[in-house]
């Protein structure tokens, strides 16, 4: 799975990971997430990507991540009205994540991508062509798979987020304290 001296970077597609953990009905303890990969490898960096609107409910999470070991990459979400007259918010961070992954690739051995978005298949292939290992973390254990079949197949390793639940959630006794 992971080598202790392997230089690893985590790339977290915030919106995709939030949707996946919601579908699995558990909250991720981001401190535990860092600790897990620090135990398994030489964790170089953990990057968290998300778009933020003016009245964003995720701002407290973004602030906490920024102060607790994550490099947070944000941009302003864009609001628009769709063809049916509904207000929508758009905040895709795929390009930013892909550019950063390609830039950091020469310095690392293994990228762990927390996303099920099939648009990242080309990124995974490009990273592999330059000799990098890529693991994808998402899930197949929901009513509808949260990971694209193409992305799962192209990854060097697929890790089902559901299998990590016991390692990524706070112990119930700990939360009472």
Domain chopping of the chain, boundaries: 7-42+92-176
CA distances from 157 to 19, 33, 62, 87, 136 (A): 21, 18, 28, 38, 6
> Running DSSP on this structure, what letter comes out for residue 107?
G
pLDDT digit string (tens) for the chain, length 177 residues: 789 999 999 999 999 999 999 999 999 999 999 999 999 999 999 999 999 987 778 899 999 999 999 999 999 888 788 888 887 777 889 999 999 999 999 999 999 999 999 999 999 999 999 999 999 999 999 988 899 999 999 999 999 999 999 999 875 444 434
**Cβ contact 134:8 at 8 Å:** no
Tell me whether strands 71-76 and 157-160 are parallel, antiparallel or unpaired.
unpaired
**Cβ contact 157:133 at 8 Å:** yes
Nearest to 47 by CA among 27, 21, 17: 17
Give bridge partners of residue 60 from the DSSP assignment. Answer: none
User: What pTM did the predictor assign?
Assistant: 0.91
Segment (H or E) for 21: helix 14-24
Q: Which architecture characterizes domain 7-42+92-176 according to CATH?
A: 3-Layer(aba) Sandwich (3.40)
Nearest to 119 by CA among 67, 154, 73: 154
pLDDT at 171: 59
Segment (H or E) for 46: strand 42-52
Q: Which tokens in the block code for residue 129?
A: 């062509």
pLDDT at 17: 96
């Amino acid at each position: 799975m992971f080598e202790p001296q392997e230089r690893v970077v985590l790339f977290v597609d915030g919106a995709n990971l939030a949707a996946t953990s919601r579908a699995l009905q558990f909250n991720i303890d981001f401190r535990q997430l860092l600790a897990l990969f620090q135990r398994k490898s030489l964790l170089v960096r953990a990057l968290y990507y998300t778009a933020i609107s003016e009245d964003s409910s995720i701002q407290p999470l973004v602030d906490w991540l920024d102060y607790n070991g994550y490099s947070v990459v944000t941009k302003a979400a864009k609001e628009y009205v769709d063809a049916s007259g509904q207000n929508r918010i758009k905040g895709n961070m795929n390009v930013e994540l892909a550019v950063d992954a390609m830039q950091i690739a020469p310095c690392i051995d293994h990228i762990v991508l927390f996303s099920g978005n099939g648009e990242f298949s080309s990124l995974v292939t490009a990273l592999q062509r330059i000799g990098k290992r890529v693991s994808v973390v998402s899930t197949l254990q929901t009513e509808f798979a949260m990971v694209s079949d193409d992305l799962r197949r192209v990854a060097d390793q697929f890790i089902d987020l559901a299998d990590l639940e016991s390692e990524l959630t706070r112990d119930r006794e700990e939360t009472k304290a």
